[in-house]
Structure 1
């Protein structure tokens, strides 16, 4: 990835990992002048957020708190991997599902 693209999108990429509100702010900031690096991380964070909602409303309710806690730890590790990638200026896919997030949300 081009260094200038990373530098221009790094702030938006980092902001996207600060709760869903940060993701919305980064999405709005990125909508006027598309930056591929920021878009990559926004897509990753939207996917991580959706996983956390599935965990909260489905796994905890139907499989129990232990399963929900385990999945929650895995989602937190995904968040850390994405956040560190944004800080380092890397397009690091979240394990197992990151490629799907890029395909599902490619309009962003």
Structure 2
């Protein structure tokens, strides 16, 4: 269980951490680690995709709200991994579980 929790925590560190966690989970295929890998990967990919578009607004209020929103999502997922809980992040969590169901 400890390795599964470690893989889940590593997934939230960076986008590279999410890729490393995929390889860490490739042998044992833990449902807990897979759940958090899908959540973290979804957060990072959505952040980069929307961040590119948000950059065109050139408004500190929009950018600040964007960063705060994703920071809160990240904290929610990361704390779930630390506490050993499988709670989907608000708004997008179920979508990420379906989108990345093969991981």
Q: TM-score, normalised by structure 1?
A: 0.87
- Classify the secondary structure of the residue corresponding to 1:94: coil
Residue in 2 aligned with 1:97? Answer: 92
Give the counterpart of 2:63 among 64, 68, 74.
Answer: 68
5+ residue gaps in structure 2?
none
C-alpha distance after superposition, 1:15-73 (max 9, x if no partner): 11111111111111111221100000000001100121023201121464421220111
**Structure 1 segments of 4+ aligned residues over 2 angstroms from their partners:** 62-66
Q: Give TM-score scaled by structure 2 length.
A: 0.91
**Is the contact made by 1:15 and 1:25 (CA closer than 8 Å) also made in structure 2?**
yes
Q: Give the length in aligned residue pairs.
A: 103
Higher helix share: 1
Residues in 1 aligned to 2:63 and 2:100: alpha-carbon distance in whole angstroms: 25
Structure 1: 5+ residue runs without aligned partners? 1-5
Structure-2 change in CA distance of 1:30 and 1:72 (3 Å): same
Counterpart check, 1:78 vs 2:78: no
